[in-house]
Amino acid sequence: MNLESYLARRRRQINRQLTRYLPVKAKHTPTLIKAMRHSLLAGGKRLRPILALAAAEAVGGAPRDLLPFVCALEMVHTYSLVHDDLPSMDDDDLRRGQPTCHVVYGEAVAILAGDALLTEAFRVMVAAAQTNGLNKARALQVIHEIAEAAGARGMVSGQVADIEAEHAEPSLALVEFIHVRKTGALLLASVRTGALLSGANASTLRHLTRYGECLGLAFQIADDILDAEGTTSVTGKRAGRDRVLSKVTFPAVMGIAAAKARARDLLAQALDELQSFDQRAEPMRAIARYVVTRAGA
C-alpha cells in the first residue's frame, strides 16, 4: 500500500474535524481559542488518531463514526505537548516547526490552553457517546481508558518520573517505566479505541493490545534515536535536547546500535500480532514499519 497517501488522506480528514471543534471566531476569550488552535492545528503526524482509525478498519468498523473520539485523542496528546514544552518542564521553544505555545502566548495562557484542550477532549467524547449511536458501554470504556492513559496512571506519572530521573542513575528498567507511561499509554489507548468502538471480540482485542504495547515502546525508542541523530528540520523540534536536559533515554542507556536492534525486535513482535488479520490491517502493518524505519533502525 502507499502509506504516504493513506496518512495524508487520514490527516486531512482529522484536521477538518478538529477545525470544526475550534472555530476561529469565539464569543469569549478569543486569546484562549487562538492559543488552542496554535498548538492543535499546527500539523504533526496525527499518529494517535490515525492508529485508532486504522484499528477500526482492521476489525471491519466504520472509521467515520469514530471521528469525535480520535479527535479527542489528538487533543489529549496536544495538551501534553503544550505542558511538556513549558519552562518549568522541558523549556522547549520549537514544536512542529513553529514557536511553542508559551513562546507566543505566554506561560499562563499556554497552561490554560493545555487545560482547555484536555477538558474539550472529554466534552467531545461524552457528546458523541450520547448522540452518534455507538455502543454506550463501549464508549464509556473508551473514555475511561483514555482518562487512565492521560492521568496519574499514564502520561502524568510518566512525566513526573521523567523529571525525577534527571537526577537518578539511568537503567533500562527506569527508561521503560517512564516511556510505557509517558508515550506508550496513549498510543495503546488509541489502538484500543478504534478496536473497542468497532466491536472487536476478546481475542482480536488481545492481539491489538499487544500490537499497541510493542508499537508504543518502539515509537519512543525511534524518537530517542531521532533526537540523538536527527536534525531540527526533520523532527520539527530542537534536536539534541535529551542530552542537554540529561534525559534518561534508550540510546543513553543502551547505546544507539542496541536501541535500534530493540526497536526492530519490537516491530517484529507488533507485526506478529497481526498475522491472523487480513488485508484490512495493512495500514497498521505499514504504520508500524514507518515508526521504526523513520529512525533508521
CA-nearest of 153, 217, 107 to 161 is 153
The CB-based long-range contact list for 270-274 (8 Å cut-off, 24+ gap) reads 270/210, 270/211, 270/214, 270/215, 270/218, 273/207, 273/208, 273/210, 273/211, 273/214, 274/58, 274/207, 274/211
Of the pLDDT bands very low, low, confident and very high (cuts 50, 70, 90), residue 135 is confident
- The proportion of the chain whose per-residue pLDDT surpasses 90, expressed as a percent, equals 74
Q: Which structural domain, as residue segments, surrounds residue 138?
A: 3-293
Q: How many domains does the chain have?
A: 1
Q: Are 214 and 269 in contact (CB under 8 A)?
A: yes
Tally the residues of the chain. 297
Instruction: Give me the pLDDT at residue 285, please.
Output: 98
pLDDT digits (tens, 9 = 90+) for 214-231: 999 999 999 999 888 865
- Alpha-carbon span 201 to 296, nearest angstrom: 35
Of the pLDDT bands very low, low, confident and very high (cuts 50, 70, 90), residue 201 is very high
CATH number at residue 86: 1.10.600.10
For residue 241, is pLDDT > 70? no
- Alpha-carbon span 14 to 112, nearest angstrom: 23
For residue 28, is pLDDT > 80? no
- The proportion of the chain whose per-residue pLDDT surpasses 70, expressed as a percent, equals 93
User: For residues 10, 275, 280 and 197, what is the CA-based torsion angle, rounded to 10 degrees?
Assistant: -70
Highest mean pLDDT among 21-30, 93-102, 230-239: 93-102
CA-nearest of 39, 34, 45 to 8 is 45
For residue 146, is pLDDT > 70? yes
Instruction: Give me the pLDDT at residue 167, please.
Output: 76
Mean pLDDT, the chain, integer: 91
- Alpha-carbon span 105 to 99, nearest angstrom: 10
CA-nearest of 17, 133, 135 to 70 is 17
- Alpha-carbon span 297 to 292, nearest angstrom: 6
For residue 191, is pLDDT > 90? yes
Instruction: Give me the pLDDT at residue 139, please.
Output: 95
N- to C-terminal Cα separation, the chain: 21
Of the pLDDT bands very low, low, confident and very high (cuts 50, 70, 90), residue 247 is confident
For residue 183, is pLDDT > 70? yes
**Who contacts 256 (Cβ-Cβ below 8 Å, separation ≥6)?**
225, 228, 229
